[in-house]
């Protein structure tokens, strides 16, 4: 019944709306709520150099297609996505993913608390709340980087609005809903704002859910997922459903003259999220964030102070599509993160700006697996016992506008990162071969490690004429290992399989003495366009990154790992993290061309993006894992009055350069078409889309290995060699009303 109920609701709302001539007939004016505020000048982290954004139309259109905020980034040149759960894709910039990037949501460095990074930072903001996306994909200014070797991603909700005089009040409200046919996904969002000249009160809430999605054709045998459950059809992607994903935020902001204080309390709860490329599912996530921010504008510049606290309770187990062996396998994690920072934007002269700041982060993690009996009892298995990662950074950067033409930026960042973890135990240390020996070996090691990390950036921007701009830069960037890379300790196959950050189906074992990764990147960008940027534009970026101590993996050949594990070429394997040397390089191309424009037929614009990237392990000669093959996305956008319509084609080459050490799966080439259309009224927006119009079958090159059903607790109980397929055709509709 629910399947029918939701689309009916949407359609009824639409009919009511369109029968109201006062609303339906009005000229199209983008409502303030949907329009991003001008770049917030008080945010000292913003730099003119190296940034690209997602335009508002694109954010609005993507909201209809996804409940996964990372997918809002998909059109940015150089960006691709690791597949994960339905709301948890991991962004990749120029081949570097996950915590190799600095990802901030509303200015907070949110931390995952999970041996699979299921609760990634962008899973904590719903796309309906995203108002602004900024990506630093090339060389990143030190003010927005740190503890990362790739780019930076800043996702923000709308800034608070204030009335422009004492006796005025602003009230705003919005409500929206969506339905997507593939997976029967639906959800809602609403928000309300009350603001005066000195205060702003806001509440927002959103929720979404989806069944398993289906591929365009069968890709595996029809079989039972769990021991006693129903057969799962050959085209259904097991463990891809999610439910009860709800985000709530209450915020208050106070403003006096040039000072603003803002406090947001938010909570995300998820009842269930399946992971087709992991060996267990998320059965609960409860994330609470307190985010306080002060900004002030002074004659000498801007000042920003921030404090945030994040508490995450995360639970995993075998979902309904997997064998439970009668006991399941509960795994719990709790992370707590404190972030504090002070930053200044100091206008030294008309020419020179100095950005400087200090940042502090203290993250603790407990990851424990309650006993279930047999050899997995009688005690709790401690995967990470009181893991700690404490970080202190200081940075300064100087931006100078030498003339209308030349801008330069140089900066340094110095960071101290300390990690530690307490002694561990297995389910039963008395079973020495299974648990006791590994635990004893780990507990005998010094686990208290301190890294001293230095980042440097130098960039220059030169627009010789109004029709071209060139940017070039160099950066040295450093990232210390995360707690799982250093402290996951068990060589037991079942335990190692549960520690996997990349969705390749393999098991991972940490290495305590891992060193920080140090990347040296050069990047050059050329941007050619007509003077008004209305007719045409082409942008090209070339980059090369050399990574010293890149954290890759080697086959496990000790502890419980077998000799066969070292030589296997077509099965899942156990791996240990290791520092090696790597390089990544590539080119991004993007362009747009106004094809035609008239008052009667509207405007037609062609857009295109091409991404090429390679990643090599220079120590072993292997390819790096999950490197997106050559891909092109092209669209024609038609705009006429309130209508925007866009057919889009995506062409992706086969992935044949694969990581041999991981037995990474090759994927074939494919093309897809999507069709999108939207109509905007003053107080409403309707989106309609057909994704994968021709219902083409494909395997997402970065979707990982399919281990979403059956006996996923055993290394090769599930057939190796099946990639997680992409979504078959889906009809999507969403409606948003603004007041």
User: Rule CB under 5 A: which residues touch Cu ion?
Assistant: 114, 116, 118, 316
- Least Cβ distance, residue 117 to Cu ion (angstroms): 8
Which ranges of 19-55 would DSSP assign to H, the alpha helix? Answer: 21-24
- Kindly tell me which of 103 and 133 has the beta carbon lying closer to Cu ion: 103
Two tokens, residue 693 = 């119009």
- Kindly tell me which of 491 and 500 has the beta carbon lying closer to Cu ion: 500
- Least Cβ distance, residue 92 to Cu ion (angstroms): 20
- Least Cβ distance, residue 396 to Cu ion (angstroms): 38
- Least Cβ distance, residue 383 to Cu ion (angstroms): 11
What lies within 8 Å, CB to CB, of 673 at 6+ separation is: 647, 648, 649, 650, 692, 693, 694
How far apart are alpha carbons 706 and 722 in whole angstroms? Answer: 6
- Least Cβ distance, residue 657 to Cu ion (angstroms): 29
- Kindly tell me which of 145 and 274 has the beta carbon lying closer to Cu ion: 274
Two tokens, residue 637 = 């956008």
The 3-state DSSP class for residue 605 equals strand
- Least Cβ distance, residue 502 to Cu ion (angstroms): 14
- Kindly tell me which of 26 and 334 has the beta carbon lying closer to Cu ion: 334
How far apart are alpha carbons 538 and 149 in whole angstroms? Answer: 27
- Least Cβ distance, residue 391 to Cu ion (angstroms): 23
- Least Cβ distance, residue 316 to Cu ion (angstroms): 4
Pair 594, 74: CB distance under 8 Å: no
Phi, psi dihedral angles at 163 (to 5 degrees): -70, 155
- Kindly tell me which of 61 and 316 has the beta carbon lying closer to Cu ion: 316
Edge-to-edge strand list for the sheet holding 90-93: 79-82, 90-93, 96-97
Residue of this chain nearest to Cu ion (CB atom)? 114
- 583: nearest Cα among 552, 610, 604, 609: 552
How far apart are alpha carbons 466 and 534 in whole angstroms? Answer: 13
How far apart are alpha carbons 540 and 549 in whole angstroms? Answer: 29
How far apart are alpha carbons 297 and 304 in whole angstroms? Answer: 9
How far apart are alpha carbons 250 and 526 in whole angstroms? Answer: 43
- 169: nearest Cα among 125, 200, 133: 200
- Least Cβ distance, residue 365 to Cu ion (angstroms): 12
For residue 704, is it left (φ>0), alpha (ψ between -120 and 50) or beta? left
- Least Cβ distance, residue 503 to Cu ion (angstroms): 12
Two tokens, residue 511 = 């290495």
- Kindly tell me which of 253 and 270 has the beta carbon lying closer to Cu ion: 270
- Kindly tell me which of 116 and 646 has the beta carbon lying closer to Cu ion: 116
- Kindly tell me which of 107 and 335 has the beta carbon lying closer to Cu ion: 335
Q: Is the dihedral of CA 705, 710, 715, 720 positive or negative?
A: negative
Give the per-residue SS3 of 623-674.
Answer: ECCCCCCCEEEEEEEEEECCEEEEEEEEEECCECCCCCCCCCCCECCEEEEE
- Kindly tell me which of 159 and 320 has the beta carbon lying closer to Cu ion: 320
- Least Cβ distance, residue 452 to Cu ion (angstroms): 31
- Kindly tell me which of 67 and 116 has the beta carbon lying closer to Cu ion: 116
Bridge partner residues of 725 (DSSP): 699
CA 390 to chain centre: 23
- Least Cβ distance, residue 229 to Cu ion (angstroms): 22
- Kindly tell me which of 313 and 614 has the beta carbon lying closer to Cu ion: 313
Q: Are strands 574-598 and 507-509 parallel, antiparallel or unpaired?
A: parallel
Helices and strands (DSSP H and E) totals, the chain? 7, 33
Concatenated DSSP letters of 259-318: EEEEEEEEEEEESEE--TTSSSEEEEEEEEEEEEEEEEEETTEEEEEEEEEEEEEEEEE-
- Kindly tell me which of 434 and 498 has the beta carbon lying closer to Cu ion: 498
DSSP label of 510 = -
Two tokens, residue 112 = 């995952």
- Kindly tell me which of 367 and 552 has the beta carbon lying closer to Cu ion: 367
CA 170 to chain centre: 33
How far apart are alpha carbons 611 and 461 in whole angstroms? Answer: 23
- Least Cβ distance, residue 114 to Cu ion (angstroms): 3
- Kindly tell me which of 121 and 357 has the beta carbon lying closer to Cu ion: 121
- Least Cβ distance, residue 335 to Cu ion (angstroms): 11
- 164: nearest Cα among 294, 267, 255: 255
Q: Which residue has the tokens 């100078």?
A: 400
């Amino acid at each position: 019944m629910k399947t029918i109920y939701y689309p009916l609701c949407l359609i009824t709302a639409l009919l009511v709306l369109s029968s109201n001539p006062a609303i339906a007939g009005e000229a199209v004016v983008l409502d303030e709520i949907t329009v991003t505020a001008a770049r917030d000048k008080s945010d000292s982290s913003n730099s003119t150099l190296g940034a690209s954004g997602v335009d508002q139309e694109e954010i609005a259109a993507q909201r209809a297609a996804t409940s996964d905020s990372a997918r809002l980034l998909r059109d940015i040149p150089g960006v691709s996505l690791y597949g994960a759960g339905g709301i948890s894709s991991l962004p990749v910039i120029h081949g570097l993913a996950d915590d190799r990037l600095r990802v901030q949501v509303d200015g907070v460095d949110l931390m995952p608390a999970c041996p699979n990074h299921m609760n990634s930072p962008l899973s904590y903001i719903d796309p309906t709340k995203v108002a602004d996306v900024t990506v630093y994909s090339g060389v990143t200014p030190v003010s927005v980087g740190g503890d990362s070797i790739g780019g930076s991603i800043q996702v923000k909700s709308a800034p608070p609005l204030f009335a422009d005089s004492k006796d005025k009040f602003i009230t705003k409200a919005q409500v929206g809903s969506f339905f997507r046919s593939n997976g029967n996904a639906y959800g809602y969002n609403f928000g309300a704002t009350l603001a005066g000249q000195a205060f702003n009160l806001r509440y927002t809430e959103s929720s979404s859910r989806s069944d398993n999605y289906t591929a365009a054709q069968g890709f595996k045998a029809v079989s039972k997922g769990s021991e006693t459950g129903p057969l799962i059809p050959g085209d259904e992607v097991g463990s891809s459903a999610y439910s009860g994903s709800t985000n709530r935020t209450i915020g208050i902001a106070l403003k006096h003259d040039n000072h603003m204080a803002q406090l947001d309390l938010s909570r995300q709860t998820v009842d269930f999220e399946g992971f087709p490329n992991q060996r267990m599912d998320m059965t609960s996530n409860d994330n609470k964030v307190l985010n306080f921010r002060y900004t002030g504008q002074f004659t000498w510049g801007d000042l920003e102070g921030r404090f945030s606290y994040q508490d995450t309770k995360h639970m995993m187990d075998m979902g309904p599509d997997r064998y439970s062996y009668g006991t399941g396998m509960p795994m719990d994690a709790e992370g707590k993160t404190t972030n504090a920072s002070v930053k200044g934007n100091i206008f030294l002269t008309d020419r020179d700006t100095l950005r400087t700041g200090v940042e502090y982060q203290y993250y603790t993690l407990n990851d424990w697996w309650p006993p279930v009996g047999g050899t997995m009892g009688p005690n709790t298995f401690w995967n990470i016992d009181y893991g700690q990662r404490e970080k202190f950074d200081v940075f300064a950067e100087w931006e100078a506008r030498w003339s209308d033409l030349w801008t330069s930026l140089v900066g340094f960042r110095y960071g101290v990162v300390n990690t530690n973890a307490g002694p561990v135990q297995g389910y039963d240390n008395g079973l020495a071969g299974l648990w006791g020996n590994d635990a004893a070996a780990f507990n005998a090691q010094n686990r208290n490690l301190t890294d001293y990390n230095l980042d440097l950036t130098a960039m220059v921007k030169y627009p010789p004429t109004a029709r071209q701009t060139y940017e070039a830069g160099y950066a040295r960037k450093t990232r210390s290992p995360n707690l799982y890379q250093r402290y996951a300790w068990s060589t037991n196959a079942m335990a190692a399989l549960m520690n996997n950050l990349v969705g390749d189906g393999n098991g991972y074992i940490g290495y305590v003495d891992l060193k920080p990764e140090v990347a040296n990147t050069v990047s050059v960008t050329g941007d050619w366009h007509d003077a008004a940027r209305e007719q045409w534009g082409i942008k090209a970026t070339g980059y090369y990154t050399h990574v010293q101590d890149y954290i890759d993996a080697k086959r496990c050949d000790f502890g419980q790992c077998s000799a066969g594990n070292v030589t296997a070429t077509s099965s899942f394997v156990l791996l240990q993290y290791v520092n090696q040397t790597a390089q990544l390089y590539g080119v991004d191309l993007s362009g747009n061309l106004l094809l035609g424009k008239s008052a009667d037929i509207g405007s037609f614009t062609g857009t295109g993006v091409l991404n090429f990237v390679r990643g090599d392990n220079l120590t072993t000669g292997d390819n790096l894992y999950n490197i997106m093959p050559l891909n092109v996305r092209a669209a024609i956008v038609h705009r006429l009055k309130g209508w925007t319509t866009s057919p889009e084609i995506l062409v992706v080459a086969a992935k044949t350069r694969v990581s041999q050490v991981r037995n990474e799966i090759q994927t074939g080439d494919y093309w897809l078409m999507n069709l999108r259309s939207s109509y905007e009224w003053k107080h409403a927006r309707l989106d309609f889309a057909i994704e994968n119009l021709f219902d083409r079958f494909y395997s997402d090159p970065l979707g990982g290995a399919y281990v979403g059903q059956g006996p996923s607790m055993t290394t090769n109980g599930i057939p190796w060699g099946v990639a997680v397929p992409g979504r078959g055709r889906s009809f999507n509709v969403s409606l948003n009303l603004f007041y």
